[in-house]
Amino acid sequence: MIGRKYIGRKLTPKRITGRARYRKHIQSRAWFDRRERWFEESQQIGGIVVCAVGGGRWTLKDDLHHVTYDRLGQEDHDDLVALCRFHHEQLHQIWDASRAWRRLPRGTATKGIIALLKQSSSRCPDR
């Protein structure tokens, strides 16, 4: 999730609580540490870390998208996916704009939209 307005979306109590929890986590020291650890793990697994859509080199200045919130605060490695800011925003725009995507489980939608964006072969912008 990224900071942006939710025009026209109903804020159910569950969504508000979930978002407050998410926001608190994302600003926490624990999240900062998890990002660093995730980066180290990724480098150990595959060397250079890249944006899952455009293949541009990913660093800790870039975004990590939550594939699932099931373990918020104690994320498994595969709960997170590396994206540049540009493609992260694109993913959320497509998601927000489509009831069909929103109806799917978060992980399924994430993988589907990433595959869709990859097909359009848009490269990561220079940063």
Residues making contact with Zn ion (CB under 5 A): 51, 53-54, 56, 65, 84, 87, 124
Least distance CB 53 / Zn ion (angstroms): 5
> 34 or 65, CB closer to Zn ion?
65
CA 93 – CA 45 distance, rounded (Å): 30
Task: Dig out the tokens for 79 from the structure.
Answer: 């709960």
Least distance CB 22 / Zn ion (angstroms): 10
Task: Dig out the tokens for 31 from the structure.
Answer: 């999240």
DSSP 57: B
Least distance CB 55 / Zn ion (angstroms): 7
CA 74 – CA 11 distance, rounded (Å): 26
Quote the longest CA-to-CA distance of the chain: 43
Least distance CB 10 / Zn ion (angstroms): 20
CA 59 – CA 17 distance, rounded (Å): 30
Task: Dig out the tokens for 37 from the structure.
Answer: 């650890």
CA 16 – CA 25 distance, rounded (Å): 14
> 49 or 124, CB closer to Zn ion?
124
